[in-house]
Amino acid sequence: MARITRKELKTDKFALEVEHTVDFFEEHQADIVRYAIAAAVVAALVAGIIWYRGHQHNVRQEALAHALQIESAPVGGAPPGTPLTFPTQDAKDKEATKAFSELAAKYSGSDEGYIAEYYLGSMASDKGNLPEAERRFKSVADSAGARYASLAKLSLGQVYFAEGKASLGEQTLRSLIKHPTDFVSADQATIVLAKQLAPTKPAEARKLLEPLRTARTSVSQVAIQALNDLPAK
């Protein structure tokens, strides 16, 4: 809502018609009081909504932090004072899956929900459950904001290649190259695409990597290594 200062409201005409304003107030006192009450109620509702949203954001953040703590917890022996450990990887995976699944279901449509969905996709991919990984990553890629969607697309493209859907994988990764985000750069997407194309299209992979070898950053180091891994011409 635009803010209008008292200085902006004060005009000569206003000063000359003070008495008319007083008369108007007296004639319409009931309406003015009613509108004032309504405005106060609206203000209270807005304040309540802002507080609720802030509170809900904190709740989601805490739930995500808990799930991430599980996901990063050590397995087996751990140094004294470690807050959370698991006896086996299987026990850890079950608990992490439960935490992320609850988060994704309860806070669907929020950034935290999409992050949880992304982690579930990653866990499915690690276990070789590519259809489940594809479903999870595609959900985030199609619905999340640009930053989280780009992360999901980077993973989704690789899953497509692993499933034998090379054309879909290439299409997905090339879209990232054209539309990078601050989470996934064009260079990063280019390197991932080149590595996926290397076994079947080494010439195309080399074409993608060559411009990156002179970037004089960590990108160039990765590009040079990827070029060295390509089949000989």
Check if the beta carbon of residue 114 is closer than 8 Å to that of residue 102.
no
HEC-encoded secondary structure of 59-124: HHHHHHHHHHHHHHCCECCCCCCCCCCECCHHHHHHHHHHHHHHHHHHCCCCHHHHHHHHHHHHHH
pLDDT for the residue 39 = 54
pLDDT for the residue 106 = 93
Instruction: Single out the residue of 124, 118, 159, 119 nearest to residue 140, CA to CA.
Output: 118
Tens-level pLDDT at each residue, the chain (233 residues):
333 333 433 334 333 333 444 444 444 455 434 444 455 545 555 555 444 455 567 888 888 888 888 888 888 876 777 778 888 999 999 999 999 999 999 999 898 899 999 999 999 998 999 999 999 999 999 999 999 999 999 999 999 999 999 999 999 999 999 999 988 999 999 999 999 999 999 999 999 999 988 866 788 888 888 888 888 76
Angle made by CA atoms 129, 131, 134, in degrees to the nearest 5 = 105
pLDDT for the residue 223 = 85
pLDDT for the residue 21 = 43
Residue spans of alpha helices (H) in the chain: 6-9, 12-16, 18-27, 29-72, 89-106, 111-126, 130-143, 146-162, 166-178, 186-197, 202-209, 218-228
Burial level of 125, CB count in 10 A (0-12/13-18/19+)?
Answer: buried
